Structures are given as structure tokens and as C-alpha cells.
Structure 1
Amino acid sequence: MSLRDAIDNFYERLVQDAIDATREDTDTTDYLTDVMCVALNRLPSRYYRHSIDMMFYLADEELKGMKEKSLAAVKAARDFVKEHRRE
């Protein structure tokens, strides 16, 4: 097993949740993948090894703020990807 396989970025989960919450019928997998990449590039990394550690040590207000930042990043990424579509 690679060391990379032992860690995750908590924002990946939050961005995926924000994408799911804002999903539209016309969204394609390619479009949403681009949105996820752009959104994640606009957020800080928050790596963890065990998800239970993040949930246990993360204060409710901090988690709420991270969710809000993720949703804002996804909304901005949607606009960016739409404006820079490859035809």
C-alpha cells in the first residue's frame, strides 16, 4: 500500500456533498469532474488519516464554516467551468 492511499483530503467529501446538493439534470460527469477540480483548487487542503479523527476533533462551527466554503467554491467553480467550456 502506498502512503498516498493512507490519507485523504476532508474537503473532497465536502465538495462532493456540495456538488450533489447543487446538481442539475443537464450536468454531465465531465462537467462535474471539472467543477470538483476547480473547487478543490480554490480550497485549502485538510488531510486526515482516519475519518473518525476528523469528526471527533473538528468543532461544529469549524465544520459548518468548511461546508459553507465548499458550497461557495462549488458555486464559483460552476460559473468558471461554464464560462471556460471547451467546445
Structure 2
Amino acid sequence: MQLEIRNYYEVLLMEMLSDEGLLDELPQAYLADLCCLTLNQLPVRYIRHLVDTYFFEEEGELDKMRQRIQAALEKSHQFLRTNPST
């Protein structure tokens, strides 16, 4: 049996990377490392459907999640810049 679940932080991260044009700009290997490093710094929030998030989000929670992602993304970029062979 295969369940259709995903981590909402992953969805938001991919949206942010797309909005910033980084999905097309960065090499795939770098992008994969960047995503893994970023997501490993964040909690998980599993969802079945994006509409599920509208019922459970408190006021401002989405903004807080995006801020956490942005901070983790910047930290991951910095790590990869200082450790290019990783």
C-alpha cells in the first residue's frame, strides 16, 4: 500500500526556490544538497492534501514557517559555500 503523504515544509521550500528562480538556476546536485540540508534543520509537518493546511494553520503560522525555511536555507547556502566538496 502506498500512502499519499508529504512534508508541508518540503512543499513550501520548493515553492520558495521556484519563486526565487533557483530551481532553474542552480545545478541539480547542488540543489539536492541544499534541499536536504535545509529540510534537516526543520521540523516535519505531514499532510495529505494542501487544503489540509488551511484547517490547521493558526494566524501567522504560515509566515513563521516561511521564516524558518528562509533562515535554514541561508544557513545551508553558507555551509555549502564554505564546504564545496560536500
The answer to whether the superposition gives a TM-score over 0.5 is: yes
CA deviations 1:1-39 (Å, max 9, x no partner) are 413xx1110000111123232739862121111100000
Q: Which residue in 2 is equivalent to 1:43?
A: 42
**What is the TM-score of this pair, normalised by structure 2?**
0.82
Q: Which residue in 1 is equivalent to 2:83?
A: 84
Q: In the alignment, is the contact (CA less than 8 A) between 1:19 and 1:74 conserved in 2?
A: no
**What is the TM-score of this pair, normalised by structure 1?**
0.81
Q: Aligned pair 1:16/2:8, yes or no?
A: no
Give me the identity figure in percent.
33
Aligned pair in 2 of structure 1 residues 79, 48: CA closer, same or farther (>3 Å)?
A: same
Aligned pair in 2 of structure 1 residues 74, 64: CA closer, same or farther (>3 Å)?
A: same
Q: Secondary structure at the match of 1:72?
A: helix
Per mean C-alpha deviation after superposition, the further-off stretch among 24-33 and 44-53 is 24-33
Residues matched between the structures, number? 85
Q: For the residues of structure 2 that align with 1:75 and 1:22, how far apart are their CA atoms?
A: 15
Q: For the residues of structure 2 that align with 1:7 and 1:24, how far apart are their CA atoms?
A: 23
Q: Aligned pair 1:68/2:67, yes or no?
A: yes
- Structure 1, unmatched stretches of 5+, are none
CA deviations 1:43-80 (Å, max 9, x no partner) are 00000112111123212400010011111111111111
